Structure 1
Amino acid sequence: MSRSFKVGVWRSFMEIHHAVLGEIERKLSDRHRLSVSEFDALVNIPLAGTRLKELQERIVLTQSAVSRMADRLERRGLVTRAPVEGDQRGAMIELTEEGRKLLRAAVRTNAEVVESMFTDRLSKEELLALHGVLRRLKPEENPAAT
């Protein structure tokens, strides 16, 4: 198999990812006034809440970017922030009822786009095969990649 074919496959994968992510971004913004990063943050806040530092590790943004995002989400009434006892710099962040409600709607929007632009275009067999391939490529499931 030629190098150009391999790079072409990768390029196609990136183009599909870009198109689907772009549509998710548009729909989340239009329907819920959320960016993909804000959606990602909301999805990664457990029901019991989480420390801001742990959220930053889950969504791979800088500490200052997560803090600014938390400020925006707090101003919208989607999260609350509380100090962590014994840690002057630490903060706990929790979804409010309004945040949980918006998150449920945004999760449905995300799923609609993924289905319409990606999974509904593949057969069950193709999805199963793709799932197997992608599992092998994920670093945490591929010992050779670490």
Structure 2
Amino acid sequence: MADRPAESPVRLAAETWESLFRAQVAVMRRLQSGPAFKSIALNEYDVLFTLSRCPSGWLRLNELNDHILLSQSSLSRMVERLEKRGLVERMPAPDDGRGVLLKLTEAGSELQKQIGRIHVRDIEALMTPSLTAAEQRELLRLTEKLRGAVARH
């Protein structure tokens, strides 16, 4: 086997990032086209899902924004639409006049669960033929390691 020139750390990082990003785009496009997202957009579901994981039931809008890949203004408009549909409820934060607290309504919780059941089956149908269980665990370990490192910086 011929010796390969040493790979630049910058090039390797860029290629790794691009591969991760392209894989995520391909997976998200496939999932968005599935049956789970006929009644609600994937990014709207992401809001419902994130709120469903909040132990207190309420989450600050700015904390929700930390978990969603949208600008603050886009998220605010989306929350308004979800509120008009009766899926989320909001109220002023009691300790901060400018803050907003959000929670799922009963209808929002039911829709999140209904879509979530379909969504996880779609994810499994996509992941299982593509990656072995060991590869999925390794990918999970690596992505959690990357996320943790980014969060510490």
- Structure 1's unaligned 5+ residue stretches are none
Letter paired with 1:77: G
The answer on 1:70 being equivalent to 2:79 is yes
State the Cα distance separating 1:135 from its structure 2 match: 3.5
- Select between 72-81 and 11-20 the one with higher mean Cα deviation: 11-20
SS at match of 1:58: coil
Normalised by the length of structure 1, the TM-score is 0.77
Corresponding position of 1:20: 27
- Select between 9-18 and 95-104 the one with higher mean Cα deviation: 9-18
State the Cα distance separating 1:57 from its structure 2 match: 1.9
Structure 1 residues 131 and 29: CA distance shift in structure 2, 3 A: closer
Corresponding position of 2:46: 40
Looking at structure 1, the residues matched to 21 and 67 of structure 2 have their Cα atoms a distance apart, in angstroms, of: 22
The answer on 1:106 being equivalent to 2:115 is yes
Looking at structure 1, the residues matched to 142 and 122 of structure 2 have their Cα atoms a distance apart, in angstroms, of: 22
State the Cα distance separating 1:96 from its structure 2 match: 0.5
Looking at structure 2, the residues matched to 104 and 139 of structure 1 have their Cα atoms a distance apart, in angstroms, of: 26
CA contact (8 A) 1:23 1:113 kept: no
The answer on 1:89 being equivalent to 2:95 is no
CA contact (8 A) 1:56 1:63 kept: yes
State the Cα distance separating 1:113 from its structure 2 match: 1.8
Query: Which of residues 37, 54, 65 in structure 2 aligns to 1:29?
Result: 37
- After superposition, what is the alpha-carbon deviation per residue over 1:72-120, rounded to whole angstroms, capped at 9, x for unaligned? 1011110111122353322211100000000011212221221111234
The answer on 1:134 being equivalent to 2:134 is no
Looking at structure 1, the residues matched to 132 and 31 of structure 2 have their Cα atoms a distance apart, in angstroms, of: 22
Corresponding position of 1:56: 65
Bigger fraction of residues in helix: 1
The RMSD of aligned alpha carbons is 2.9
CA contact (8 A) 1:80 1:94 kept: yes
How many residue pairs end up in the alignment?
142
Letter paired with 2:27: V
- Structure 2's unaligned 5+ residue stretches are none
What percent identity do the matched residue pairs reach? 29
